[in-house]
Amino acid sequence: MSANHLVESLDSKRLEGSILTLDLSLLFIGLLCLGLVTLLADYAYMLYIHRKLPPGPIPLPLIGNTHLLPENKPWIYFEALAKQYDSPVITFWIGRNPTIWINDAWAASELLDKKAALYASRPRMLVFSELSGVGQYNLVNMYYGDRWRVHRKLTHQGVGLQQVRKYRGFQNNESQVMAFNILHDPERFVTHMERYATSVVSIIGFGRRVASISDPLITQVLAIMQRAAELNVPGKSFPMIMETFPWLAKFPKRIAPWLKPFGKGGRGSAFYYALADEANKTSQQEPCYVKQLFREAPKYNLIPTEIASLTGNLFGAGSDTSSSTLVTFALACCAFPETLPAAWEELDRVVGSHRSPSWEDEPHLPYVKAFVKEVFRWRSVAIIGGQPHSPTKDDYWKGYLIPKNSWVQGNTWAIHHNEREFPEPDRFNPNRFLCDSSDSRPFPNDKGYMTFGWGRRVCSGQGLAEQGTFISIARLLWAFRIEKARNKDGQEVPVDIFAYTNGLNMRPEPFSCSIVPRSEPIRDTIVAEGKEALLELSVYDGETKYTLSQFYEKPNVG
């Protein structure tokens, strides 16, 4: 090859390389422009929709308002936003999805109760539902439809309002045992409350009680429930940031450390199914909810994951929330001792010291009933009203659009801390619920609180929780002086009424208190009733061979 031909060949290759580089550059610029146009078009659509929605902060492209979320207790932030925009219903964008927050009792009643059928569904919940491994097999997550009706019917067969009255006998006995245990070991009052609540639902579900505070069913079940509750609170860190950027959930788990906490999914489901299958085969007691589920399984084509979910929901409806409510009760006693003498006077007059309260006393204990209602109101456990609702079609509130399938959340904190209905809302005041009291205010429902949610998605365990909370609080008020602990110098140890956990089902952070019987005759009655209750409950004694740790490496059931 001559020198001229070599030069021409090199020039030709340089030209081809330049053209290729130019082509790649143009392609990159084209893709960049296309991406920018798509982003601008998408953002323009977000702003267009935003103008139709209830008021709220203007969203940014892609991230919406997620960057504005506080690290803890966003329900307080949403309450402040409602005041800032002077609107009880506000919009807050999680990524590209608008979420609607209801911060007023009357607006919640108007939308979620009066339009119960319209707001009976659930939105897509990536973290809590899809990544958990159970998704649409769990009543809590299910979209509204025929399968939801089946699960709701089966749930009512376990904890419906007509059913729970049948449980009063062992529920009362377990409450007596709780008082007996607290008498002998007051420092671990929280654990005794957890054992009580877990044992009641274990008897209902499995036909066996939880006799010891060391039973792994207590710590493991509550750990599952509390962890699940954390996966329902909007956030800007992992894992909740995946609600803003769903594509983060599509990475292979081997290269996505933020997905590793979810493991293979379904571990809790496998655990609950094993407990249910064991009880179905071995329990001779009634009630035994899981035996009923297995009898109904062929009729409704229930798969193991559904049986596990129905069983697990029973614990969610009755163990974590009920024990958290009782711990809040103890905190209120310590923080507001001025509310206790009226309860003691009423209990001494109606009940006396030689027996503890019963459900038959309830009509004659109006102040104690008001005390229980104020516990539900003051620090509601399901602080954002449980799982979000979702309308099955577009709806409107005061001319504002609430889009189909959007996330609609009742902010129970804001509802129960509205100065209009509850003056000085952080003050624990049972008089709010006495009809002839000057502290009473109008409310859109007869109960005077919205602790258990709304409409067709109201908490399935409401009847069981209200029934058990009344008898337990009445008994503990009757039995003990629950006061602030004292240090070695005899000075009171202060308690913090704002020190609560950050999950959907919030509970007080650990605190110390003094719990002593109110009199010697009452002490004797606590002991006598506790021993008798243990004898009556002995028919439910039993153990399980399963623990949650056994299922960490097992695949999903179903």
CB 477 within 8 A of CB 526: no
Cross-strand partners of 390: 121
- Cβ atoms < 10 Å from Cβ of 479: 28
Map residue 275 onto helix, strand or coil.
helix
Phi, psi angle pair for 390, to nearest 5° = -150, 130
DSSP line for 84-117: HTT-SEEEEEETTEEEEEE--HHHHIIIIITTTT
Cross-strand partners of 482: 515
Phi, psi angle pair for 433, to nearest 5° = -105, 15
459 labeled binding residue: yes
* Of 381, 384, 418, residue with least CA distance to 500: 381
Phi, psi angle pair for 64, to nearest 5° = 60, -120
* Of 549, 557, 507, 553, residue with least CA distance to 229: 507
* Of 539, 482, 536, 529, residue with least CA distance to 176: 529
- Degrees to nearest 5, angle at CA 416 with 414 and 419: 80
Which amino acid is located at 199 in the chain?
S
CA 176 to mean position of chain CA atoms: 27
- Cβ atoms < 10 Å from Cβ of 438: 7
Residues 6+ apart with CB under 8 A from 506: 229, 324, 379, 381, 383, 500
Which amino acid is located at 66 in the chain?
T
Label each residue of 476-545 as H, E or C: HHHHEEEEECECCCCCECCCCCCCECCCCECCECCCCEEEEECCHHHHHHHHHHHHHHHHHHHHHCCCCC
Give just the sign of the alpha carbon dihedral 489, 490, 494, 495: positive
What does the block give as tokens for 210? 């939880």
Cα 523 to Cα 173, 531, 534: the distances in Å are 17, 13, 17
- Which residue ranges make up the annotated binding site for heme? 459
- Which residue ranges make up the annotated binding site? 459
